[in-house]
Structure 1
Amino acid sequence: MARAALLVGAALAVTAVCLTLGLMVGSRGIAPVAVWQALLGTADPEARAIVQDQRLPRTLIGIVGGAALAVAGVVVQGHTRNPLADPGLLGITAGSSLAVVVGISALGLTTPAGYLGAAFGGAALGTIVVVVIGLAASRRRDASPASLVLAGTAVSALLGAITGIILLLDSAALDLFRFWTVGSLSAGRDLDVFLAALVPLAVGGVLAGAHARALDVLVLGDDVAAALGRNLLPTRLLGLVVVTLLVGGATVAIGALGFVGLVAPHLARRVFGEKHEVLLPASAMLGSLLVVVADVIGRVIISPAELPVGVVLAVIGAPALLVIIVRTRKTSA
């Protein structure tokens, strides 16, 4: 009970910090009193437009999208027993992003609901392709972590190349497509996008919470999990559904962001430990904070222009990945 109360309090505090940063900080300075007035609808039209139409939607989208990617990272790492796994490294994010781009280019998708269907299909397809290749490469009943990472890297590169080719051939729509490849909290993201992605993300989050005990068993290995009475096939399928919902919804909300599903779970493990019923919500909190902070940095670092949040996360995440690799090798040794 005390741990649950602590997590709830921490979640509320992190959400408050994210909202404060997202609403207060930007290329255009607005006094805190004016921000509050804008939320209440009593400020001048310019302040209301900046706060209500720009900063509030992108902050809410960053909170839920970052949480979704972090939770998806925990689930992927639990299923693969690989601390270097995340949706971006395993081709899931690239598949979801490519499907959205293809849907917009070939099918003329223009609504958040249309983006959601394409993103979910792409996320599922990317997951299946990586798992199949990993199984074939490892020649084992269960794909080895190294095989999955190598297969995911290759699939991500291939899907990213296809996405780039589509963008080059459809230059007239480049401005509409480009935020799917770099990740952004602006570029047409509004409350409609937030609301469209909220339901599948909420369902994925609830299923992930129900999946916590299974993840505690899976990290011990498939043989141990089977000996403890765990039916592996339904467990794997549930994990696939969870990751598909979370990554598909997050891609619609914030684009193809890398490193969130890798860095946030590792930070959470160092603070909260390995038990998944605590690790999942803790990772969600840190994922939200990581995305919002990266977005705020992108707003001000080259003001009045902006850096996409995906670029900022790459600068943060690449060194973090190297540190994680070194730590993992030392632990293995």
Structure 2
Amino acid sequence: MPSLVKTSKEQAMNSRPLIWLLIGLIGVAISITISIGSGAVWIPPSVIIESFTSFNPELLEHHLIFEVRIPRALTAALVGAALAIAGTLMQGVTRNPLADPSIIGITQGSGLAIAIALSFFSSNSYWGLLGWSFIGAALGAVLVLLFTIISREQLSPVTLTLAGAALSMLFSALSTGLALYFQVAQDLSFWFAGGLSGSKWVHVYILFPITITGLLIALTMSRSLTTLTMGDDVATGLGHSLHRVRWFSITAVVLLSGAAVSIAGAIGFIGLVVPHIVRSLVGVDYRYILPTSALIGAFLLIIADIGARMINPPFETPVGAITAIIGVPFFLYLARMKRRNV
């Protein structure tokens, strides 16, 4: 009898990640539906269904659904998924529970690169800004990773986070200086605030392949990341190449963060909060953490975007402010917990 009970408990534990994956899929689907109907003009579910079954080009609501609401909801989902995966990878590869692209300089690196593009090259095309965003994200990611690797002492999470915060402040100060001197502050203010109001189908076409590629790269590293949580020596002893894991993970982080920031601006804390939520739900296996993080990140950013539209209609609140309200207290809580454990 005890063996049967133990077996049933093991089966329940093994099925839990799959259950949360299914819940995440359902949550994303429901939130996208709510997002399509929400805004300055409320669209009832019956009209949404009608626009799919019998699209009428003469109805304003149908045009609004397909040209504005659906691209915005899908963009929010993809940006949220990209940021969540990037944060999960950063926390896994640095073993730092406080790591997040917006905290340790990667997002601000993208912002600095975009400021350089707007100031010196007058680049405002989607592809141009995307390329510059990748360059800035790569700069921030490589600096953080090198700081982790070359340090001879074991860095505490708080120390690494402080170093990343200093890097973020440097990048932000340079971005602000360029914006003021070259009079592109108005153009750059969108990137600082973060938002999804200008989302179009082209953004979905850009984000979808990049997000899928980043997730696939991350999944190839999932077993190594799981082993890495036990320490570098254990991972090396089991045959995992630490350099390969780190550089492949950083490549995925650069792709995901660069694409997300180039389109939605500096939306922070999604990559910080989501991995902690997911690990408490599915355990420590990155084969499940990564896809579940993508779904939970998508869900959270869609909900945040709905809140940004509904708090002060018909005006929009920056999505970055919504995520910061949630993320800052969570960050302070984590920092306090790590300090107690030191």
- Give 2:299's aligned residue: 289
Secondary structure of the residue aligned to 1:66 is helix
Of 277, 287, 311, the residue aligned with 2:287 is 277
The reply on whether 1:178 has 2:189 as its aligned counterpart is yes
Distance 1:44 1:311 in 2: 37
Once the 2 structures are TM-superposed, how far is the Cα of residue 308 of structure 1 from its aligned partner? 1.2
Give the conservation status (yes or no) of the 8 Å contact 1:182–1:255: yes
- Give 1:251's aligned residue: 261
The reply on whether 1:266 has 2:259 as its aligned counterpart is no
- Give 2:74's aligned residue: 60
Q: Any gaps of 5 or more consecutive residues in structure 1?
A: none
- Give 1:6's aligned residue: 19
- Give 2:98's aligned residue: 84
Once the 2 structures are TM-superposed, how far is the Cα of residue 85 of structure 1 from its aligned partner? 0.8
- Give 1:316's aligned residue: 326
Secondary structure of the residue aligned to 2:317 is coil
Larger radius of gyration: 2
- Give 1:18's aligned residue: 31
Matches within 5 A, 1:217-236: 217-236=227-246
TM-score normalized by structure 1? 0.91
Counterpart of 1:124, as a letter, is A
Q: Any gaps of 5 or more consecutive residues in structure 2?
A: 1-13
Give the conservation status (yes or no) of the 8 Å contact 2:20–2:281: no
The reply on whether 1:189 has 2:199 as its aligned counterpart is yes
Counterpart of 2:316, as a letter, is E
Give deviations 1:214-265, integer Å, cap 9, x for gaps: 1111111212211222121112111111111111111123221110000111
Counterpart of 1:118, as a letter, is W
Relative to 1, partners in 2 of residues 1:14 and 1:81: Cα closer, same or farther, differing over 3 Å?
same
- Give 1:37's aligned residue: 50
Counterpart of 1:165, as a letter, is G
Give the conservation status (yes or no) of the 8 Å contact 2:215–2:291: no
Give the conservation status (yes or no) of the 8 Å contact 1:65–1:250: yes
- Give 2:128's aligned residue: 114
Q: How many residues align?
A: 328
Distance 2:243 2:266 in 1: 29
Give the conservation status (yes or no) of the 8 Å contact 2:123–2:129: yes
- Give 1:127's aligned residue: 141
- Give 1:307's aligned residue: 317
Deviates further, 298-307 or 313-322: 313-322
Relative to 1, partners in 2 of residues 1:228 and 1:313: Cα closer, same or farther, differing over 3 Å?
same
Deviates further, 95-104 or 79-88: 95-104
Distance 1:280 1:292 in 2: 18
Once the 2 structures are TM-superposed, how far is the Cα of residue 14 of structure 1 from its aligned partner? 2.2
- Give 2:171's aligned residue: 159
Give the conservation status (yes or no) of the 8 Å contact 1:104–1:110: yes
Once the 2 structures are TM-superposed, how far is the Cα of residue 297 of structure 1 from its aligned partner? 0.6
Distance 1:43 1:143 in 2: 59
Give the conservation status (yes or no) of the 8 Å contact 1:101–1:177: yes
Distance 2:328 2:158 in 1: 19
TM-score normalized by structure 2? 0.89
Counterpart of 2:240, as a letter, is R
Give the conservation status (yes or no) of the 8 Å contact 1:80–1:144: no
**Aligned sequence identity (%):** 35
Give the conservation status (yes or no) of the 8 Å contact 1:101–1:180: no
Give deviations 1:134-182, integer Å, cap 9, x for gaps: 556x434x655343212110010111111222222344x4443222112
Give deviations 1:188-239, integer Å, cap 9, x for gaps: 3211122122222211111111111011111112122112221211121111
Distance 1:305 1:108 in 2: 29
